[in-house]
Chain A
Amino acid sequence: MGKTIVEKIFDAHLVDSPEEGVHVLNLDRVFCHEITTPIAINDLVSRGMDRVFDQEKIKAVIDHVSPAKDSKTAEQGKIMREWAKRQDIKDFFDIGQNGVCHAIFPEKGFVRPGFTVIMGDSHTCTHGAFGAFAAGVGTTDLEVGILKGVCSFLTAETIKINVSGSLKNGVYAKDVILSIIAKLGVNGATNKVIEFTGPVINSFNMSERMTLCNMAIEAGGTCGICYPDQTTVDYLWEFIKDDYSSKESALKDYMKWQSDEDAVYAQEIDFEVSTLEPVSTFGYKPDQVKTIRELEGTPVDQVYIGSCTNGRIEDLREAAKVLEGKKIADSVRVVLSPATPAIYKMALKEGLIEIFMDAGVCLTNPTCGACLGMSNGVLAAGEVCASTTNRNFNGRMGKGGMVHLMSPASAAATAISGFICNSSLYKG
């Protein structure tokens, strides 16, 4: 019987199986941010266990509220900063170097095919784009990860989604994943891994694959995952060139992280994208999805472009294409946060920042900020936001606010008209 990529990764990392169906795995990466890590650090200190299993494998960032907005968030940053220093964690990204965790860690080449990764953050599933098993965990799991470099997982069955067809103009990876979540439901992949395969995935760049895997959790998935291929090798090459004699040899090595032909799946789904239209969510759950056409005319108060879902340079380019030479509607405010400093710099160089500023966009430094309603663009009660983020839960971006999730192009088009509308209108 063949194995799935995740079963192979589990086999390669198994430390213990305390009971049938429970797998304790050793970890290649433990990622940390300032919201869920400080309580773990404090608990370790109070237990007299202020240690880390391997300071090279732990990577940390302050990203959720940056710069600190009040005394409490300042305290969280301080705990992280002092801990990173005390434990000699070299890859700690503080203000000025920091960006949204699931954008900056891949950008630094920290994730490789076949890796196991945990973080106290549900969107850790993003890193599955590299052919890694990457899962969000709670603070106690994070704490044990930091201390011991292990984490326990229940057997993860896999749903394989074969994505085929060709995307129409104005339809993006975000529209694909929102449509998939609508099909699966918010509970459709609970305790399961979602494997994204097929010609559309093969044609996707790493940024698009990250957008897909990022939202696996919105269908309840433990992890989203794509097989490593030439695209993965090209992306990682600057970080792995000392480990391999050539890209070919790297690819050959990474090819072991593929599912076997006769692997067993919980479910296999063919997803044809040729008829997909730009879509948006409309309620408080990410599986409540309608076409932008159906929602056209819905007035918005704010547009948010950024986050680990869609704050990468490719996303900013698409938004800029729509906004170039245009002005945002008077009734709307637009907040844009490039997900990392490197993305910000690229956007500056490419002239995107100028396009945004001329259009009337408010640019912020790289941070999660408004995505989780903590800073930099929180909604007032009754306000509506078109957002490129991943979660539309009630209160997510501010108590009493409504969030419509959509692609950067659709969000940019919405910014110009002041109501939800189809970006293809603006492509001329």
Chain B
Amino acid sequence: MSQKKAFNGKVLFLDRCDINTDEIIPAKYLTEITKEALKPNLLEDLIMDGFDPSKDLHGVRVIITRSNFGCGSSREHAPWALEVNDINLVIAENFARIFRQNMYNCGMIAAELSSEEIDSLFKDFSGEEAELTTDLENNTFTISSKSGKSRTLAFSISGFDRTLVAAGGWVAYADSKY
């Protein structure tokens, strides 16, 4: 379930831990049998001061958040809801296991940075318009703001996760291998 994807663009900062899959896509949309149908409902139930999904998601390509993103249900509808909104990269301190695995199985990236790095990104860039570019060859993110701030950070992606992304996802890989 994956094609080549882009991991660059406008950043949305979500300053909360434990954002769960019900908040990413509420259960009532689980009756959909296409991914596209999830598009308008991404993060619809997320409660966060000042966050309005109908406005704040416009043009977003990357999410930066705190810890345990994607906890709760196993629904792959959560990464799909991101995917159909062209958000293929989430950066957090860490992720819930199933969500993280679903992301890579779909050829998307769930990248982990240290809490200090995440903290400094929030300090320096949240509240401003920021853009991020991913260099998958050198394993770096570069984030820059309208006001001229810029920072490059290294990240790591395991060989296996990289293989999955290159193979076009876990289905294609497993079918050829096992």
Contact = CB atoms under 8 A, between A and B. Distances in A.
- A, B co-complexed: yes
Contacts of A122: 72-74, 98
Interface residues of B, number: 45
A411 B79 CA distance: 35
Contacts of B178: 15-16, 24, 148, 150
Interface in A270-288: 284-285
Given A18-B160, A395-B22, A120 B1 contact: no
Contacts, number: 152
A73 B31 contact: yes
**Residue among A140, A154, A191, A396 with most chain B CB within 10 A:** A140
A380 interface: no
Contacts of B75: 35-36, 138-139
Nearest to B158: A19
Interface stretch (A41-49, A54-62, A226-234, A347-355): A41-49
Contacts of A36: 30, 74-76
Contacts of A72: 31-33
A186 interface: yes
B21 to A, nearest CB: 8
A143 B106 CA distance: 12
A393 B23 CA distance: 8
Contacts of B68: 186-187, 190, 220
Interface residues of A, number: 58
A190 B97 contact: yes
B8 interface: no
B28 A373 contact: yes
B27 A374 contact: yes
Nearest to A121: B74
B101 interface: yes
Interface in B71-120: 71-76, 79, 94, 96-99, 101-102, 105-106
A18 B163 contact: yes
Contacts of B174: 144, 147-148, 150
B31 A70 contact: yes
Contact of B22 (A75, A150, A393): A393
A141 interface: yes
A150 B20 CA distance: 27
A383 B133 CA distance: 44
A233 to B, nearest CB: 30
Contacts of A120: 74, 76
A285 B45 contact: no
Given A187-B94, A373-B28, A374-B31, 12 more contacts: A35-B30, A36-B74, A64-B30, A120-B74, A120-B76, A138-B102, A140-B102, A140-B169, A147-B174, A220-B68, A220-B96, A284-B47
Interface of B: 1, 17-18, 20, 22-23, 26-28, 30-33, 35, 45, 47, 67-68, 71-76, 79, 94, 96-99, 101-102, 105-106, 158-160, 163, 169-171, 174-175, 177-178
